[in-house]
Amino acid sequence: MTLKNFLKRSIPAPPIPAPPLLTPPPSLDASVLTAALNRPDPVLIETRPGETADRIDRLPLIKDEDGGDVVDIWERMQIDARTDPVIADLFDTFHLWGSETDRMNAFVELGVGKALAEFIGRFGVKPEHSIADVGCGSGWLAYSLNCIGYKDLVAMEPNAGATMLLKRLAGDRIEIINDLDIWRGVRNRFDALVSMATVHHWEHIPWIAIEARRTMKPGAYWFAVMEWFADTPAEFVEAMNGHPTRERYKMYEWAYPASAYVDLIQSVGFTLNAVVPMYYRNNAYMTVGAKAPLPDTVDQDALNRLVDENLTGPNGTVELFWAEVDARRRAPGYKMFTRPQVMVFQRTAVD
């Protein structure tokens, strides 16, 4: 008996809801999304046992405590950037040349903070609201938000060395929390959390998400921007080996499938509320946006419209995200919603 027949016999089939009415842009293959929404039969993946000492076996596993002090790493990177093209490219991509102040200003000028401010405004988050930038690093995002009028900001970063410039530049306009015990003591204070490129550094995502959740008001949003993704073992190994700082400077980072972030975070009291796909608005929310130019097959205006008109709600971007997860988990092809620029989570009730 096939698994499908077994399931049919032993478990009454739930009523299948009508597929939501989705209008993908002409450049997207509508049949793929429709097929995914119609829940195709499971496909068995062909497997080979492979060899010993394969690429996963050889992958160096790095923990944060193996890494050095962030200030020391940064000094080494600056020296390496002068001679090593990989690190020089990293500096180009993230606008890391110049002094600390130059870098802070370069980020402000890049407009990511402004674009995000407009975006979080669509969820009712306003400049007078209380917002924390979790894992803020040098605090570029918190500083950008402060420059455009956000007043009640907390910059949370466990590595105190990273926030020294922010302390000098922002004075008492931004509260800095470096002590995790203080962070863990904050209760129901924030209307929103923002985070940029930090969740993939967390060694236990749900644990740290619970700590973050406790700082949020009921119903508050968490805008998780620019994470690190890999779906297949080959993609994973490539990502882990290709990361310019992971092995060289012993920084703990991990590439996960987008659905893994979502499942881990939703499982501890959040609901995925919206997903901003790659390429939307010319990658306006990512410092690395320029590294992912729009493919010829994607119509920028149509994609912007699709997202703007369906950002939230039952047939919105969350549905498109899961449709792409279903369609792409077992087949190669484009990735847009599963390479999101922003995942929006809402702190929701636990019954």
Ligand X SMILES: C[S@@+](CC[C@H](N)C(=O)[O-])C[C@H]1O[C@@H](n2cnc3c(N)ncnc32)[C@H](O)[C@@H]1O
Considering the rule CB under 6 A, would residue 174 count as an interface residue with ligand X?
Answer: no
Contact region for ligand X (CB under 6 A) — 85-93, 113-121, 198-206, 305-313? 198-206
The bridge status of strand 216-225 relative to strand 342-347 is antiparallel
Q: Which of 110, 112, 132, 157 binds ligand X (CB under 6 A)?
A: 157
- Alpha-carbon distance of 206 to 219, in angstroms, equals 18
Neighbour tally for 160: CB within 10 Å: 14
- Alpha-carbon distance of 62 to 254, in angstroms, equals 10
Report the nearest approach of ligand X to the CB of residue 16 (Å). Answer: 41
Report the nearest approach of ligand X to the CB of residue 106 (Å). Answer: 12
- Give the residue at shortest CB distance from ligand X: 137
Near ligand X in 126-145, by CB under 6 A: 134-138, 140
- Alpha-carbon distance of 130 to 124, in angstroms, equals 12
Considering the rule CB under 6 A, would residue 264 count as an interface residue with ligand X?
Answer: no
Q: Applying CB under 6 A, what is the total number of residues that bind ligand X? A: 16
Considering the rule CB under 6 A, would residue 201 count as an interface residue with ligand X?
Answer: yes
Report the nearest approach of ligand X to the CB of residue 155 (Å). Answer: 9
Contact region for ligand X (CB under 6 A) — 8-16, 39-47, 121-129, 191-199? 191-199
Q: Which of 27, 93, 159, 312 binds ligand X (CB under 6 A)?
A: 159
Q: Which of 91, 143, 150, 202 binds ligand X (CB under 6 A)?
A: 202
Report the nearest approach of ligand X to the CB of residue 280 (Å). Answer: 19
C-beta closer to ligand X: residue 77 or 196:
196
Considering the rule CB under 6 A, would residue 196 count as an interface residue with ligand X?
Answer: yes
Contact region for ligand X (CB under 6 A) — 50-58, 156-164, 236-244, 267-275? 156-164
C-beta closer to ligand X: residue 138 or 338:
138
Considering the rule CB under 6 A, would residue 227 count as an interface residue with ligand X?
Answer: no
Report the nearest approach of ligand X to the CB of residue 35 (Å). Answer: 37
Report the nearest approach of ligand X to the CB of residue 197 (Å). Answer: 4
- Alpha-carbon distance of 62 to 58, in angstroms, equals 12
C-beta closer to ligand X: residue 134 or 255:
134
Considering the rule CB under 6 A, would residue 162 count as an interface residue with ligand X?
Answer: yes
42 exposure class (CB count in 10 Å sphere: 0-12, 13-18, 19+): exposed
Report the nearest approach of ligand X to the CB of residue 213 (Å). Answer: 13
Considering the rule CB under 6 A, would residue 90 count as an interface residue with ligand X?
Answer: no
C-beta closer to ligand X: residue 201 or 213:
201
Q: Which of 112, 197, 278, 307 binds ligand X (CB under 6 A)?
A: 197
> What's the Cα-to-Cα distance from 52 to each of 56, 57, 167, 232, rounded to whole Å?
10, 8, 50, 19
Report the nearest approach of ligand X to the CB of residue 194 (Å). Answer: 9
Q: Which of 19, 20, 67, 158 binds ligand X (CB under 6 A)?
A: 158
- Alpha-carbon distance of 229 to 236, in angstroms, equals 8
Q: Which residues bind ligand X (CB under 6 A)?
A: 134-138, 140, 157-159, 162, 196-198, 201-202, 208
